[in-house]
Structure 1
């Protein structure tokens, strides 16, 4: 019997859209339409397919606009599968139900759209996509609910992964294409969830420099996908506006030694220029 596991898409997002017109010194708030939208245009779900399990994966769907306050009655948000999807319903995935609708509870600003992913049907080297479109909504609390024109679609990438065991201590050498370099003799990589890891350091900064400026961490997050490393876009040290992301050259894991090689960029000058870093982790 297949087991069902739940993968939650965690997010912290606050939406507030207010428009106003100034008439002398008086500010008047405009009660426009309530807008249904996906917070992200693309998300990637990672699914361990060693045992061909089924996973329930959820994508957040939000409502904003109006007078800026949540509606005081439930909202039905309608969606449909876009023809550009490369995953096949009934093969790689299924909807939890086929109503084509989810409910945003009264007083709330978001809900989740769940799908069931059949990991045994996924190919790690060729991930497929589920593309969803918001088609509209309804609520007794508003007769003006619309789908967002530019945030009404989400692409869900179904990425299969294999068992992963990269946590441990490494000797790390980092070089940059700007000429900088540093050596970290006791770099610790921590597994924070299955196949997802947090490094200790980012770039060539000395230990403690980023945290001294207020950052909660100094490393970055990466995911292993069956021997390949994916570094998704993220803020430097989870704090600064500098963008950290992997290059087109995927990181690799040496199957014999366990050594890791990564390549990523960090944005500077308001992310108008990017420096490329090559990091070599030698397993201790």
Structure 2
């Protein structure tokens, strides 16, 4: 079985296990090389826990790509709240994004949704991403957290890939939420390194409070359950411009043992490859393989 399990994030519904392995493997090896790790991972060393197909709409003749979502399809509650949080974060890190007016547009209304999508479409983070794809990304996060059947199937994909030989789990974006819950659901696992990149795990109310198992209250603040034993080292990497990783420091939410670091991904703030090739990511994977 694989020593490294990779868990992808949102927007991968048209890909597959083999496609993602071919994309991730060179980047993982580049990160290891920057961390002065002589060994290169082979295809048999890396397994991809793929769940994108669970979120892919059934095919129809004369239709292709993401569903033709519009601003009107952004549901009230979770989806509107997450969209507005993305807008606020994008405005704080990207001068090209007009900031929301706290007195008006931060209240979730159809008008504010349209304004948020319009503002984000001009950001470097969402550059070249179609509106329907942006809305689909929102819905993927929402569906995972609120659809028990989908959640169980996605978790099973990850749990099934983690064997006694697995030493490292690298998880990107929404995949970090799935990987975290999968490790919690597999007590006694032998994983030594959990590496989360571009993770939304620390977002209060929207993500943190919805995790399974539920966070415990510690000093009046929610604290996520530790996803392993004493040997597990959890490293979280976040880029300042990564809108999905709204909370860069996970220590207040999961305890002081999480190693948190900021990295620099340039114009591809949320791109998995940019994270994987960073020396700090390579070092975290190297430590887990040692």
TM-score bin (small chain): under 0.3
Q: TM-score under structure 2 normalisation? A: 0.24
Largest Rg, 1 or 2: 1
Which fold has the larger relative contact order, with Cα–Cα distance below 8 Å and residues 6 or more apart in sequence? 2
Indicate the structure with greater strand content. 1
Q: TM-score under structure 1 normalisation? A: 0.24
Indicate the structure with greater helix content. 2
